[in-house]
């Protein structure tokens, strides 16, 4: 997570308000009926996924989301395979789950097939997870410039080898593996169709498609028609991802694409109750959670306490982690700059409690931000790739030598 809280607030206050959020979906559309999805032995009654988000989807946040939508799939943020293999304490912390989590779902990231395989072996041997997702969607320059994330499916040999090795290790323990991909590097270098087929051939239980290219980063609106194309081409379940800001968007994506389920990223930042809304929508109910400011403050305090547990009692670390969430929780509420700044200066639980107690609990949820875009929304300035990456769809010996010596331990979003 490289954004500062100030950047998040700035983005939330300005850029997201001018996007077309697709939330004004015409009423009277045909009803959507969703079937449960099975990923190997894992049964997902409501096919909604918390999309992995670095710096966001650690277990405290996942627990909150799962409380609102108890039968979806909640994926941890990506763990760098090399960091796990090196037993980096930060990486190990990110691999922790709360006892209440129904499905322990980890995401691995890596470029070197041997290292990713080793990481998968640790996960299996130490019974660290029930499900492994592989990250082939990260657009961040420090990742793609090393051939990782969304740059990787361009090299079909490397992509296939990573999946093959991880599936082999995980299938021995009956752990399903899924792949998360983007449309491609840009529209002249699309990879999703081939990547989807490879993932299916190599035994992935499902694929999630974030319907943007690397070049599109988080800008504009994702192109859901690409999700529909992939659904039509594959036999395994496809989860659609991109720009679901409210339950109606989830219904609309399913109607438009026929996807087996939806994956939610930014839409649930500061709104873990979105999972209740989507669960209701998928069950044919119009009931939605629209918490008052008082109810939001209760969620903030609960989130804060869970984070203190996550950080082994270190309130300062917990409250620093919470800051970005507070900015998201308060988005759109009539809370002045002074109060927002006071939250950003909190150093312990008592500080957060004091600031929340100053807010008017009766204030209703702001219509202005309901089901509207939030979080990062930028286009990429430029896609960073290893030298000569686009020249061929397979890796050369030299490329492998260079890449594998340089698998970043601190790759992040
Ligand atoms: C702050 C942030 C961190 C992210 N971290 C990850 C990650 O660790 N792994 C991953 O596969 N995708 C990651 N993503 C991408 C999301 O999972 C999701 O694919 C993307 O945000 C599009 O979905 P959305 O429109 O619902 O946000 C991240 C996105 C954001 C905004």
In a domain, 13, yes or no: no
Closest residue (by CA) to atom 18 of ligand 1?
Answer: 265
Cβ 137 under 6 angstroms from ligand 1:
yes
DSSP notation for 141-199: HHHHTTT-GGGGGGSHHHHHHHHHHHHHHHHTTT--EEEEEEEEEETTEE-HHHHHHHH
pTM of the model: 0.92
In a domain, 304, yes or no: yes
In a domain, 375, yes or no: no
Task: Give the mean model confidence (pLDDT) for residues 363-386.
Answer: 90
For the cut 50, the answer to whether the pLDDT of residue 4 exceeds it is no
Query: What is the per-residue pLDDT for 24?
Result: 43
**How many structural domains does the chain have?**
2
User: Which one-letter DSSP state was computed for residue 299?
Assistant: H
In a domain, 22, yes or no: no
Strands 177-186 and 131-136: parallel
pLDDT band at 33 (very low <50, low <70, confident <90, very high): confident
262 and 359 co-located in one domain: no
Query: Distance of CA 311 to CAs 58, 244, 356, Å?
Result: 11, 30, 22
Closest residue (by CA) to atom 1 of ligand 1?
Answer: 53
**Nearest alpha carbon to residue 290 among 350, 352, 333:** 333
CA 292 centroid distance within chain: 26
For the cut 70, the answer to whether the pLDDT of residue 260 exceeds it is yes
Q: Which of 8-22, 38-52, 161-175, 254-268 has the lowest mean pLDDT?
A: 8-22
248 and 318 co-located in one domain: no
pLDDT band at 28 (very low <50, low <70, confident <90, very high): low
In a domain, 143, yes or no: yes
What are 65-76's pLDDT values in tens digits? 999 999 999 999
In a domain, 17, yes or no: no
231 and 147 co-located in one domain: yes
What are 81-136's pLDDT values in tens digits? 999 999 999 999 999 999 999 999 999 999 999 999 999 999 999 999 999 999 99
- Say how far apart CA 105 and CA 77 lie, in whole Å: 9
214 and 307 co-located in one domain: no
Task: Give the mean model confidence (pLDDT) for residues 9-18.
Answer: 36
**Nearest alpha carbon to residue 311 among 122, 102, 89:** 89
328 and 267 co-located in one domain: no
pLDDT band at 379 (very low <50, low <70, confident <90, very high): confident
177 and 264 co-located in one domain: yes
Closest residue (by CA) to atom 14 of ligand 1?
Answer: 53
Query: What is the per-residue pLDDT for 92?
Result: 96
- Say how far apart CA 19 and CA 32 lie, in whole Å: 26
What are 290-334's pLDDT values in tens digits? 999 999 999 999 999 999 999 999 999 999 999 999 999 999 999
Strands 261-264 and 238-241: parallel
For the cut 50, the answer to whether the pLDDT of residue 2 exceeds it is no
CA geometry: angle at 37 spanning 246 and 105, to 5°? 80
Q: Which of 50-64, 145-159, 394-408 has the lowest mean pLDDT?
A: 394-408
For the cut 70, the answer to whether the pLDDT of residue 21 exceeds it is no
pLDDT band at 378 (very low <50, low <70, confident <90, very high): confident
Query: What is the per-residue pLDDT for 27?
Result: 53
Neighbours of 146 (CB within 10 A): 21
Which residues, 6 or more positions from 272, have their beta carbon under 8 angstroms from its beta carbon?
61, 64, 65, 67, 68, 299
Cα(53) to centroid(ligand 1), Å? 5
Query: What is the per-residue pLDDT for 349?
Result: 98
Strands 177-186 and 189-190: antiparallel
283 and 298 co-located in one domain: no
Task: Give the mean model confidence (pLDDT) for residues 146-170.
Answer: 98
Could you give the percent of the chain with pLDDT greater than 90?
Answer: 86
Query: Distance of CA 266 to CAs 225, 243, 269, 395, 404, Å?
Result: 20, 8, 5, 33, 32
DSSP notation for 8-30: HHHHHHTGGGGS-----PPSSPP
Query: What is the per-residue pLDDT for 8?
Result: 37
For the cut 80, the answer to whether the pLDDT of residue 20 exceeds it is no
pLDDT band at 406 (very low <50, low <70, confident <90, very high): low
Cα(112) to centroid(ligand 1), Å? 22
115 and 188 co-located in one domain: yes
- Say how far apart CA 202 and CA 160 lie, in whole Å: 7
In a domain, 395, yes or no: yes
Probe ligand 1: pick from 79, 151, 265, max atoms within 8 Å of CB? 265
181 and 57 co-located in one domain: yes
Are 289 and 296 in contact by the 8 Å Cβ rule? The answer is: no
Query: What is the per-residue pLDDT for 22?
Result: 40
- Say how far apart CA 156 and CA 137 lie, in whole Å: 15
Query: What is the per-residue pLDDT for 18?
Result: 35
Q: How many CA atoms lie within 13 A of 135 on its CB side?
A: 31
Are 205 and 234 in contact by the 8 Å Cβ rule? The answer is: no
State which ligand 1 atom lies nearest to the alpha carbon of 241.
23
In a domain, 1, yes or no: no
Known catalytic residues?
A: 138
For the cut 90, the answer to whether the pLDDT of residue 26 exceeds it is no
Cα(77) to centroid(ligand 1), Å? 9
Query: What is the per-residue pLDDT for 386?
Result: 96
Query: What is the per-residue pLDDT for 13?
Result: 35
Report the chain's mean pLDDT, rounded to a whole number. 92
- Domain encompassing residue 220: 28-288+380-404
Cα(363) to centroid(ligand 1), Å? 30
User: Which one-letter DSSP state was computed for residue 380?
Assistant: P
Return phi, psi of residue 132, to 5°.
-120, 125
283 and 332 co-located in one domain: no
State which ligand 1 atom lies nearest to the alpha carbon of 210.
19
CATH number at residue 117: 3.20.20.70
271 and 309 co-located in one domain: no
Sign of the Cα pseudo-torsion (82, 86, 88, 94, in order): positive
Query: What is the per-residue pLDDT for 167?
Result: 98
State which ligand 1 atom lies nearest to the alpha carbon of 109.
9
For the cut 60, the answer to whether the pLDDT of residue 23 exceeds it is no
Strand partners, 264: 50
- Say how far apart CA 367 and CA 195 lie, in whole Å: 40
204 and 343 co-located in one domain: no
Which residues, 6 or more positions from 401, have their beta carbon under 8 angstroms from its beta carbon?
none
């Amino acid at each position: 997570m490289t954004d500062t809280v100030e950047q998040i607030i700035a983005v939330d206050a300005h850029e997201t308000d001018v996007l077309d959020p697709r939330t004004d979906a015409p009423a009277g559309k045909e009803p959507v009926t969703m079937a449960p999805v099975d990923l190997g032995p894992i049964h997902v009654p409501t096919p909604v996924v918390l999309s992995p988000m670095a710096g966001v989807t650690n277990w405290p946040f996942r627990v909150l989301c799962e409380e609102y939508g108890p039968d979806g799939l909640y994926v941890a943020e990506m763990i760098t395979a090399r960091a796990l293999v090196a037993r980096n304490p930060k990486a190990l912390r990110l691999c922790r789950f709360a006892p209440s989590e129904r499905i322990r779902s980890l995401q691995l990231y890596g470029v070197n097939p041997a290292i990713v395989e080793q990481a998968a072996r640790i996960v299996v041997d130490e019974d660290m997870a029930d499900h492994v997702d592989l990250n082939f969607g990260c657009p961040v320059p420090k990742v793609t410039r090393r051939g990782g994330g969304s740059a990787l499916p361009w090299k079909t040999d490397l992509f296939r080898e990573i999946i093959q090795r991880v599936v082999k290790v995980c299938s021995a323990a009956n752990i399903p593996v899924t792949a998360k991909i983007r449309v491609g590097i840009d529209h002249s270098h699309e990879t999703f169709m081939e990547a989807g087929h490879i993932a299916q051939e190599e035994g992935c239980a499902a694929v999630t498609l974030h319907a943007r290219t690397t070049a599109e980063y988080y800008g504009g609106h994702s192109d859901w028609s690409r999700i529909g194309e992939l659904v039509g081409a594959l036999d395994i379940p496809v989860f659609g991802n991109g720009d679901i800001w409210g339950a109606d968007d989830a219904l609309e994506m399913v109607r438009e694409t026929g996807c087996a389920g939806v994956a939610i990223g930014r839409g649930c930042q500061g709104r873990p109750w979105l999972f209740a809304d989507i669960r209701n929508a998928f069950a044919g109910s119009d009931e939605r959670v629209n918490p008052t400011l008082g109810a939001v403050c209760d969620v903030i305090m609960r989130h804060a306490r869970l984070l203190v547990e996550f950080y082994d009692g270190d309130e300062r670390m917990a409250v620093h982690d919470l800051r970005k969430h507070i900015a998201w929780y308060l988005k759109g509420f009539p809370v002045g700059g002074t109060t927002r700044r006071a939250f950003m200066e909190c150093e312990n639980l008592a500080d957060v409690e004091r600031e929340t107690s100053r807010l008017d609990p009766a204030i209703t949820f702001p219509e202005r931000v309901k089901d509207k875009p939030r979080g990062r929304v930028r286009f990429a300035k430029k896609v960073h790739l290893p030298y000569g990456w686009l020249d061929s769809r397979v890796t050369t010996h030299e490329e492998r030598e260079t890449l594998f010596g340089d698998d970043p331990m601190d790759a992040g979003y």
